[in-house]
Structure 1
Amino acid sequence: MTAVLLVNLASLPMPGNDPIFPIGIRCIQDALERENHRTRLIDFIEDPSASTDLSWAAEPWDVIGFTIRNIDPVDLSCDGHVTHYETFLARIREALGHRRPLLVGGGPGYSLFGPELISRLGFDVGVVGPGEQSMLEIVADPRKYLGFGQNLSGDRYPGFIANSLDHPERLLSAYASRGGSIGVETKRKTCYQGCVYCPYAYISGDNGGDHKPTGAIVEELRTAYGSGIRDVFFTDGIFNSELSFAKNVVRAVTAADLSGLTWSAYFTPKPFDDEFADLLSVSNVGPVIISPDSLDDRVMRALGKSFDTRHVERFIERCRPRGIKFKVSVVLGGPGETRESVRATAQWINDNLDSEELTLNVGYRVLPETELARQLGLENAEILDPTFHPLDPDLFSWVIGDLDSRFLTTGRMLNLMAGRTSSRKMLKIPLTPGGSPAPQEGREFVALTRRMLPIAEVRNGGTENRARC
């Protein structure tokens, strides 16, 4: 038996951080306990004092695992989290004193930058991708990995489809008390979508499709419900990517008859048929979230979408008559964005959406293992600090001028203003040959980053303000 401490760094108090229920590290913990290892989970929402009182690190742990969900909040107006992780891990090492447990890194955010983070954060070994199988291998012989300095590739975990996940009531209650939801996985499958900005397929690993039995899904829902959870998010990359399975899950949720339990997920408007809409309408779903990101067909193609505005229109036509609440997520400033495409997207929004049906953001974070990073010619080490796709500095004014006033709520205006202020302070990195073309002749079209580097050190010689946002 190995003594394993698991630390949810995703719950660490940091500017711009909004912790969500730690389903990933709970999957790791459950797998370890089923193999009779002794575990403890440190979550700073469950125990806020644990972020300052590190006495828990003084116990005789053989392995300490740290999960990193996000590298930054993926927002133009927010800084990154890596320096906060560095500071906290330095405190952990000080609290450990002469003791030398194995330090392991993992999680979705870590998986994106594993080679860069393993040395920067001082882990002995890391896990890139799904972590259960690799963690079981590591804890079977921790001494083997001391000073290893490399990352292991995660693999499929048979326990995902064999076991239901029973979360500790105290942890559930802590997140329920914040009005938060918990995540529930219904399947693990490599995403078929080709969105140029999304690293989901890389993070999830090579998986042809593991489906959790609907009985196990309902059992997890009942456990969460009994601890006060009334909001659940199915964490699949795309909930209805396999429509027949999604229909079965919705039927099971409805049949469970958990009064007051609402649920949501990320959906795609294709496939999405009338039968599915009928099932959703009686399932207490809300909202159904789709992410066309643009509502200009040319830009949607540039983003790698497998659908266009016609499919979004049909989706709305199915939802509204049935009373299904939905959200349409738009993110402006991506590949091929021009004055004309912003105008077209705004006009589509004005003609088709109510204010509460729109989610609006500006700026595409460039992430590793994505087509966007390859288009811009940016290496992983260059984009560890928050780095965004080039955007026209006038884009913010275009949005404000083109949208009807009913969409310009106080919250949206504050977000737009914060994004514009931040973009003006960020480093501007000239595009490499072969990068995306400028939207308008004569306009500077450059990648945006918050790197705190001397100008001479910026690749290709950036010439703009060095200030951090």
Structure 2
Amino acid sequence: MARVALVNLASLPMPGNEPIFPIGLRCVQDALDRADHRTRLIDFVEDPGALEDLSWATEPWDAIGFTIRNIDPIDMSCDGHVEHYEAFVNRVRQALAAAGQNPLLVGGGPGYSLFADQLLARLGFDVGVVGPGEQAMLDILSDPERYREAGRNITGRRYSGFMTDLLQHPKSLMETYTKFEDAMIGVETRRKTCYQGCVYCPYAYISGENSGDLKPLDLIASELRAIHASGIRRVFFTDGIFNSELRYAKEVVRLVTDLNLPGLTWSAYFTPKPFDDEFAELLAGSKVEFVVISPDSLDDRVMKLLGKTFGTRHVDRCLERCRRHGIPTRVSVVFGGPGEDRESVRNSAQYINSRLEDGELVMHVGYRVLPQTGMARQLNMPDDDLVGPTFYPFHPDLFSWIIQDLDSRFMPAKVLINFMAVRSSSKRMTKVPLPAGLQDAAPTEFPYLALSRQLPLV
């Protein structure tokens, strides 16, 4: 039996950071508790005092695990979080040294997994976990001295408890996150790698080898009942694509409908195909809050360059089915991807103006380049050079094109203010030429990457 502190670094107060319920860390904690380890979860939203008072760190822990959800907000107007993580972990290390404590320091989480080699060194962990953390942490704690000062990362592997164990969260932590306006909690229904090959998405790399597990419906039902009893009324199914396996997705929707928990609403990420009439009808009766689809562009040429397995005709059919059944939708568009030019912006804007209703558009500008993605491979940039917020090259007139082409109803004051902040930030970012010889390889004529204003390349 080991004593383990689990620190949610995603709850640190950082510019651009919006803390969400630490579902991943809770999965790890639950696995450790079931194996009779003694754990404590440190969350600075639940316990703000723990940020400055590090007395918790000097308790006789055998290991302290740090989870990193994001390394930056993936927003061009925000800087990265890595320096905040470094500063805090250094404070913890100093407190441990002063108290004569030497627990094993372990890193993990989706953000960590993306930059494991870089963050392992910068944060000084003994060992790090890439991918799912439950079984990896159990393996580490079975022989912690084996990993002392190892300075290496290990790959997470399948955790069988996902299919058998009911995940119930501590009441105090649930109550903490219930206090947020529009409080929402994530629920996993499956652990399957997304089948789509979007060039910007690292989901498959983060997920790792997961054997394609689908959580039994009785476990999902029990988890939803417990969430509802805590007072939270909004659930987000955290699957990469909720309806990637339509038959199972329909079973989950039927379950939510049959539970009929008063006031409970839910949402998820969807793809426009497969999305048939039966599925739309089931969604309509399930109190789904909204269906989120992410074509990311509404120009078929750019959609193809992004790696989408569908086109605008599939978006048309999905929207038509949703509207026929009264299902609210959100359509995510990110301007500035591979091949984006004056014509593609105009095409996307024309689609939005003519086919989307007020409130349906979710708009962003700029693609954050992440390791282990098609976009990173296309640009042939080392992972070390991507630690600071790095965005795919786009035309400097992109913002002007969007303002000219998009109906004003899609740019209310709040959106316009954020849009202007992103535009201003993009002008202040360092422009770095693409690697020699690759200017023609990238499907864009603008051979520059935009990099953070503050974080240097490492």
TM-score, normalising length: structure 2: 0.97
The match for 1:467 is: none
Correspondence 1:434 to 2:438: yes
Pick one of 157, 162, 165 that aligns with 2:164.
162
The match for 2:270 is: 267
The match for 1:72 is: 72
Tell me the alpha carbon deviations over residues 434-469 of structure 1, each in whole angstroms, 9 at most, x when there is no partner: 3455745xxx53111016588xx89xxxxxxxxxxx
Aligned mates of 1:359, 1:445 — CA distance in 2: 27
How much has 1:10 moved relative to structure 2?
0.6
Aligned mates of 2:19, 2:187 — CA distance in 1: 16
In the alignment, residue 352 of structure 1 is paired with which amino acid? R
Tell me the alpha carbon deviations over residues 362-383 of structure 1, each in whole angstroms, 9 at most, x when there is no partner: 0000000001001111110000
Moved over 6 A (4+): none
Quickly say closer, same or farther: Cα 1:227–1:297, change in 2 above 3 A.
Answer: same
The match for 1:46 is: 46
The match for 1:37 is: 37
Aligned mates of 1:316, 1:100 — CA distance in 2: 56
Aligned mates of 1:40, 1:225 — CA distance in 2: 24
Secondary structure of 1:355's counterpart equals: coil
The match for 2:336 is: 333
Aligned length: 453
The match for 1:230 is: 233
Residues 268, 290 of structure 1: 8 Å contact kept: yes
The match for 2:119 is: 117
How much has 1:142 moved relative to structure 2?
1.4
Unpaired runs of at least 5, structure 1:
459-469
Percent identity, aligned pairs only?
64
Aligned mates of 2:164, 2:455 — CA distance in 1: 49
Aligned mates of 2:32, 2:217 — CA distance in 1: 23
Aligned mates of 1:120, 1:95 — CA distance in 2: 18
The match for 1:102 is: 104
1:306-325 alignment to 2 at 5 Å? Answer: 306-325=309-328
Residues 438, 445 of structure 1: 8 Å contact kept: no
Q: Which moved more, 1:74-83 or 1:399-408?
A: 399-408
Secondary structure of 1:356's counterpart equals: coil
Correspondence 1:195 to 2:198: yes
Correspondence 1:371 to 2:374: yes
The match for 2:254 is: 251
The match for 1:465 is: none
In the alignment, residue 11 of structure 2 is paired with which amino acid? S
How much has 1:47 moved relative to structure 2?
1.2
1:272-283 alignment to 2 at 5 Å? Answer: 272-283=275-286
Tell me the alpha carbon deviations over residues 69-118 of structure 1, each in whole angstroms, 9 at most, x when there is no partner: 00000000000000000000111112212210000000000000000000
Aligned mates of 1:270, 1:228 — CA distance in 2: 34
In the alignment, residue 154 of structure 1 is paired with which amino acid? G
Correspondence 1:81 to 2:84: no
How much has 1:355 moved relative to structure 2?
2.5
Aligned mates of 1:145, 1:56 — CA distance in 2: 23
1:291-440 alignment to 2 at 5 Å? Answer: 291-432=294-435, 433-435=437-439, 436-437=441-442, 439=444
Pick one of 171, 174, 179 that aligns with 1:172.
174
Secondary structure of 2:359's counterpart equals: helix
Residues 330, 358 of structure 1: 8 Å contact kept: yes
How much has 1:206 moved relative to structure 2?
2.2
In the alignment, residue 111 of structure 2 is paired with which amino acid? G
Aligned mates of 1:118, 1:28 — CA distance in 2: 19
Secondary structure of 1:428's counterpart equals: strand
Tell me the alpha carbon deviations over residues 110-147 of structure 1, each in whole angstroms, 9 at most, x when there is no partner: 00000000010010000000011110011112122110
How much has 1:257 moved relative to structure 2?
1.1
Residues 199, 373 of structure 2: 8 Å contact kept: yes
Correspondence 1:289 to 2:292: yes
Aligned mates of 2:94, 2:432 — CA distance in 1: 38
How much has 1:53 moved relative to structure 2?
1.5
How much has 1:283 moved relative to structure 2?
0.3
Secondary structure of 2:5's counterpart equals: strand
Residues 77, 421 of structure 2: 8 Å contact kept: yes
The match for 2:145 is: 143
Residues 392, 445 of structure 1: 8 Å contact kept: no
Aligned mates of 1:215, 1:437 — CA distance in 2: 48
The match for 1:62 is: 62
In the alignment, residue 358 of structure 1 is paired with which amino acid? L
Correspondence 1:209 to 2:212: yes
How much has 1:208 moved relative to structure 2?
3.8
Aligned mates of 1:52, 1:175 — CA distance in 2: 21
Secondary structure of 2:113's counterpart equals: helix
The match for 1:2 is: 2
Secondary structure of 2:65's counterpart equals: strand
Aligned mates of 1:314, 1:438 — CA distance in 2: 29
In the alignment, residue 115 of structure 1 is paired with which amino acid? D
Quickly say closer, same or farther: Cα 1:72–1:126, change in 2 above 3 A.
Answer: same
> What's the C-alpha RMSD, in Å, of the aligned pairs?
1.3
